[in-house]
Every structure is written in structure tokens, then in C-alpha cells.
Structure 1
Amino acid sequence: MRKLSGDPDCKNGACPTLWGTADGEDYVVQGHVISDPEVLEQLGMPEGETAVMVPAAVLEGFFRARR
């Protein structure tokens, strides 16, 4: 795994982060698990999937770096 972008406001090292796999085929998003039943219902995810929330700055930092 390769760290691609992280929360710029992170103080403890265990913050929302965007990771890339070694082969560049997939991304892994580390974030805060969404447990609000209303939000999960809106997402309509199938069994076996979960959702995490990350600050916009994490993804914006990644896309800015790719330009």
C-alpha cells in the first residue's frame, strides 16, 4: 500500500487517508465508519460493504497532486 493523500489537519497519524495498491489497480479509503442508519439507508449498499467518510481535503489533495 502506498499513501496517496491524508487529512492535512491530522495530529495523531491515524486519520482519514487515501491509499493506493502496489499494482495501481485499486484505492483504499481510510475514514470514519458511517453508522447513522438514515445515511446508510440512503446509500443502499449491499451486504458485505461499508462506507466511510473522509474530509474533502483528502481527495482534493490527491487530485491536485496528480495535475
Structure 2
Amino acid sequence: MKLKRLASECDEGPCPSVWEVDGTENVLVQGFKVDDAEALAVMQMPGNETAVRIPMSLILRVAREHLA
């Protein structure tokens, strides 16, 4: 799987980021693992999915720079 970083909260190193999956209409989101049982229960998270927390500013940056 070939990835291209679309936007990140830092210039280098691991931090919340949004990645484009080359040749698809998909993105990968890198963020802080959500392990709050109450939040996951509200989300009705199935076993084959996970949740990550990222800043709203990162979502807005991706929308502004890549969906315009």
C-alpha cells in the first residue's frame, strides 16, 4: 500500500496525520488511540474497527487543501 501524507500536526515524526492511499478514494488517519470504554460504547465500535482522536484543525486543513 503506497501512502502520501496529506496533512499533519508536525513537520516530521509521529503525530496526528491524514494519509492518502494511492490509487484509491481512501485515507488513513493517524491519531491518539481512543480507549475510553464509554466513548467506544456510544460509537458501537465493532471488533474489526478502531477509533483515533485527531484535532479538528487537521480535518479542516485537509478539506481546505485537498477538497477545494
For this structure pair, what is the TM-score category when the shorter chain's length is used for normalisation?
0.7 to 0.9
Alignment map for 1:48-59 (pairs within 5 Å): 48-59=48-59
Alignment map for 1:1-67 (pairs within 5 Å): 1-7=3-9, 10=10, 13-66=13-66, 67=68
Deviation at 1:12, TM superposition (A): 6.0
Q: Which residues of structure 2 form unaligned runs of 5+?
A: none
Where 2:45 maps in the other structure, the secondary structure is coil
* Aligned-CA RMSD value: 1.5
Give the length in aligned residue pairs.
65
Identity percentage of aligned residues = 32
Q: Which residues of structure 1 form unaligned runs of 5+?
A: none
Normalised TM-score (structure 2):
0.85
- The ranges of structure 1 where at least 4 consecutive aligned residues each deviate by more than 3 angstroms after the TM superposition are none
